[in-house]
Amino acid sequence: MSEYVELSYFDIALASVFLLLNGALSLWLRLGIARNLAFAMVRMVVQLLLVGLLLKSLFAIQSPWLTLLVALFMVGFAAREIWARQERRLKGWRGLAIGGTSMGASAGVVALVALIVLVQPEPWWHPRFALPLLGMIMGNAMTGVSLSLDTLHTALNREQRAIEAQLLLGADKWHAMRPFIRQAMRAGFMPSINAMAAIGVVSLPGMMTGQILSGVDPNEAVKYQLMVMFLIAGATGIAVILATLGSARALSDDRDRLRIDRLRKAKK
């Protein structure tokens, strides 16, 4: 029943006509984004072509170590992205490490369980399964963690006086920071909740659409999508909780002080 329609490079060039039209319009309207648009477009083309080549050779070589190396590279890149998306960051190595390890560990564990217990490809680490799964899970965990850390750091900085007022009245650090820890965790959970609420009605998720386009039965595609959504939401929640608690701990000390001095504002 599979009826996969192959695209030619000419088809792709044709598809870009609308975006090129956007570029022309933005020049005409002097939106000042033509250069950014062109750069982003070229970057996308180059990145995707390269990743296509990379995946193709990875599938051909079938090395577990090479797969692991690529996975680690993805984690490192996502960790840097979490760091970059915060307006106020923890100084030093912890600025990168807390968000990165929370996201990497929870996405990694969830992806491992999915591969070994659920999908069970042969071998279980086959890059055709491992890398896309990890990528989908980690992409969402990355968004959640960066939102929650950004919220936490902004709130602690803004509410320093209120938090210290509680500390001065004999509250411990967790009690004094609790409302802001909760606020940060909620911010990290929101994208997952919103995505689950709108899925299938407002948005048809990319993975499912892709499977359907390549000829997979919609029921089967839906099953895959459900599994992926559960994994994504679960991993994101764990990552958000770990990162928020870790960062709150790093922004206080064992004498129940608030250590705003450990934050640095990002240079614009």
Mark the segment that binds other proteins (CB under 8 A) among 59-67, 76-84, 192-200, 250-258. Answer: 250-258
Give least dist CB 159 to other proteins, A: 7
With CB under 8 A as the contact rule, the residue among 51, 119, 171, 207 that binds other proteins is 171
Answer yes or no whether residue 253 interacts with other proteins by CB under 8 A: yes
| 22, 26, 157, 166: residue in contact with other proteins (rule CB under 8 A) | 166
Q: How far is the CB of 177 from other proteins (least distance, A)?
A: 11
CA–CA distance, 165 with 258 (Å, rounded to integer): 11
Residue 126 or 186: which CB sits closer to other proteins?
A: 186
- Residue 16 CB neighbours (<10 A): 12
SS3 188: helix
d(CA 66, CA 130): 12
CA-based angle 230:143:51, to the nearest 5?
A: 85
Nearer to other proteins, 6 or 254 (CB): 254
CB of 179 vs other proteins, minimal distance in Å: 7
Among 21, 72, 165, 197, contact with other proteins (rule: CB under 8 A): 165
The DSSP call for residue 199 is B
Residue 88: strand pairing partners: 265
Residue 103's nearest CA partner among 77, 126, 125 is: 77
Q: Interface with other proteins includes 91 (CB under 8 A)?
A: no
CB 121 within 8 A of CB 67: no
- Considering only residues 145 through 164, tell me which ones interact with other proteins, judged by CB under 8 A: 159-164
Residue type, 7: L
The yes or no reply on residue 182 touching other proteins (CB under 8 A) is no
Q: Given the rule CB under 8 A, which residues bind other proteins?
A: 159-172, 176, 179, 253, 255-257
